[in-house]
């Protein structure tokens, strides 16, 4: 079933299980999966649009993949509360003691980057890729300045909203496998976005985030995370190639990426400029079909109703919750 601007329901219509009962996670009822299962790009976690049983709050809710380290998943979600920058979308609610792992943040209409390419019908325009790259690089610069590493950047981790991209899938690399264990081929990890040192089990480090950013920009510009150099648009050929060097010391710093992608050079770069993404994330930064898909998703979620059996039990509505 095709719903909410490209999301395909992987477990039944409107978040129901195979028996037709509403799916509950913590205080929320699942409305629909966010991700389209037809995409070939792995997703590091299961993401749903969900609503509180009283209908007052709509959230983007994430669950760990089967086999992932659930405690690490929650630890990374907790650490996301310190995530700042234009792409920040920190978890604002987490599973309580004894609950299966989940975390959530306020919902805003958004498409995973792979879904956006599918909706658009191919690679995204140069303007979109530049704005995306600058916003992500600014966020990494803030994160790295705090001594943190994102360790999970990939095309699926990037959500495109009308006012700019957002980051999800916090610490997916460490949730998939602990340091010292090979991560190549693990479910949810996109091979082309995984820095070589992390694939072999190395500790995630900031320059690995830069590698993953290069792969993500390559995907946005070509539909592939590791395209041939000549397959990249000329505007991104040099900067992406530097990001994808197998030698971490050859990776550019986020500040360099911001300068390169925003087209700022010379005296302007030396003078510096905060939040350059603000000047790029203006109306028209997203292609029309993507904007239309966001509007469709928003309308579908707004009209989604919480089934009767999902509503809180009361003296006048003595209906028990489903499992």
What is the 8-class DSSP label of residue 80? G
Residues 121 and 219 in one domain: yes
In a domain, 234, yes or no: yes
Strands (E), 100-237: 103-106, 111-112, 158-161, 164-167
> In a 3-state reduction of DSSP, which class is residue 77?
helix
pLDDT tens-digit map of 171-229: 999 999 999 999 999 999 999 999 999 999 999 999 999 999 999 999 999 999 999 99
Residues 86 and 143 in one domain: no
> Which has more pLDDT, 220 or 53?
220
67-75 contact pairs (CB < 8 A, 24+): 67/187, 68/175, 68/176, 68/188, 69/174, 69/175, 69/176, 69/177, 69/178, 70/100, 70/101, 71/101, 72/171, 72/174, 72/175, 72/178, 73/45, 73/101, 73/103, 73/171, 73/175, 74/101, 74/103, 75/171
In a domain, 288, yes or no: no
Residue-number span of the structural domain to which 300 is assigned = 2-108+296-310
Residues 32 and 122 in one domain: no
In a domain, 180, yes or no: yes
Share the mean pLDDT of the chain. Answer: 88
pLDDT tens-digit map of 243-278: 999 999 999 999 999 999 998 655 455 545 567 999
């Amino acid at each position: 079933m095709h719903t909410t601007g490209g999301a395909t329901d992987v477990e039944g219509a409107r978040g129901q299980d195979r028996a037709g009962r509403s799916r509950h996670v913590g205080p929320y009822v699942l409305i629909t999966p966010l991700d389209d299962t037809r995409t070939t790009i792995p997703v590091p976690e299961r993401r749903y649009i969900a609503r509180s049983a009283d209908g007052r709050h709509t959230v983007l809710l994430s669950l760990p993949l089967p086999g992932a380290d659930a405690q690490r998943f929650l630890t990374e979600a907790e650490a996301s509360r310190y995530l700042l920058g234009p792409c920040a979308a920190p978890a604002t609610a987490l599973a309580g003691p004894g609950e299966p792992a989940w975390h959530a943040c306020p919902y805003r209409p958004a498409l995973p980057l792979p879904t956006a390419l599918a909706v658009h019908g191919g690679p995204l325009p140069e303007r979109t890729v530049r704005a995306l790259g600058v916003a992500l690089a600014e966020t990494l610069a803030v994160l790295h300045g705090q001594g943190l590493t994102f360790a999970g950047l990939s095309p699926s981790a990037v959500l495109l909203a009308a006012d700019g991209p957002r980051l999800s899938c916090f610490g997916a690399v460490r949730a998939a496998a602990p340091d010292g264990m090979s991560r190549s081929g693990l479910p949810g990890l996109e091979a082309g976005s995984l820095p070589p040192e992390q694939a072999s089990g190395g500790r995630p480090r900031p320059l690995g985030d830069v590698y993953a950013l290069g792969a993500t920009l390559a995907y946005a510009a070509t539909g592939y995370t590791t395209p041939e150099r000549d397959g990249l648009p000329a505007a991104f050929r040099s900067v992406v190639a530097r990001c994808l060097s197998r030698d971490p010391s050859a990776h550019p710093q986020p500040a360099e990426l911001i300068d390169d992608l925003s087209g700022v050079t010379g005296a302007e770069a030396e003078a510096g400029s905060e939040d350059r993404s603000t000047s790029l994330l203006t109306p028209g930064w997203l292609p029309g079909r993507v904007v239309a898909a966001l509007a469709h998703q928003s309308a579908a979620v707004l009209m989604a109703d919480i089934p009767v059996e999902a509503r809180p039990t009361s003296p006048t509505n003595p209906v028990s919750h489903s499992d």
